[in-house]
Amino acid sequence: MPEEQLNVGLLLFIPYRAMESRVFAELAEAGYADFTPAQARVFQRIGPDGTRLTELAEAAGVTKQTAGFLVDQLEKAGYVERVPDPRDARARLVRIAKRGHEAIPVAAQVVARVEAEWTAHLGKRRMAQLKEILGDLRSITDPYA
């Protein structure tokens, strides 16, 4: 299909999926084969001090039940932990655990390599423009920005 016939959403999704596939392949090679894209969508939204499950569900665009299921899987694998919320003794926070902190730099290195490849392909100026344009789009598409 000619590029002019592809919609912008698909043109954004294709490179995203390519990067995501490389990240998960290298995570698996590094011993993190039990981490899925669905889990990552929740994991990526955990704040530095932890995040409530309802907030994770909303930010990931999934139901609270789905977020709970994914957090349960992540917790069993050692990527996250549930801890009391210091602001509300009845509530719990989901926080990144040791294994999660260990996986983050692995994924970040892959992302950096992919971005370097894309920069080599597009050139520094066009890559900077792409990031600026996507940042501008984020301001109207990401309610959590």
Do 56 and 38 contact (CB within 8 A), yes or no? no
Q: Give the count of domains, the chain.
A: 1
| pLDDT of the residue at 142 | 81
pTM (two decimals): 0.85
Residue 23 pairs in a beta bridge with none
CATH code assigned at 24: 1.10.10.10
| pLDDT of the residue at 74 | 98
**pLDDT tens by residue, 81-135:** 999 999 888 889 999 999 999 999 999 999 999 999 999 999 999 999 999 999 9
Range of the domain at 40: 3-141
**pLDDT tens by residue, 24-81:** 999 999 999 999 999 999 999 999 999 999 999 999 989 999 999 999 999 999 999 9
- What does the DSSP assignment read for 46-107? --TT-B-HHHHHHHHTS-HHHHHHHHHHHHHTTSEEEEEETTEEEEEEEEE-HHHHHHHHHH
CB atoms within 10 A of CB 53: 19
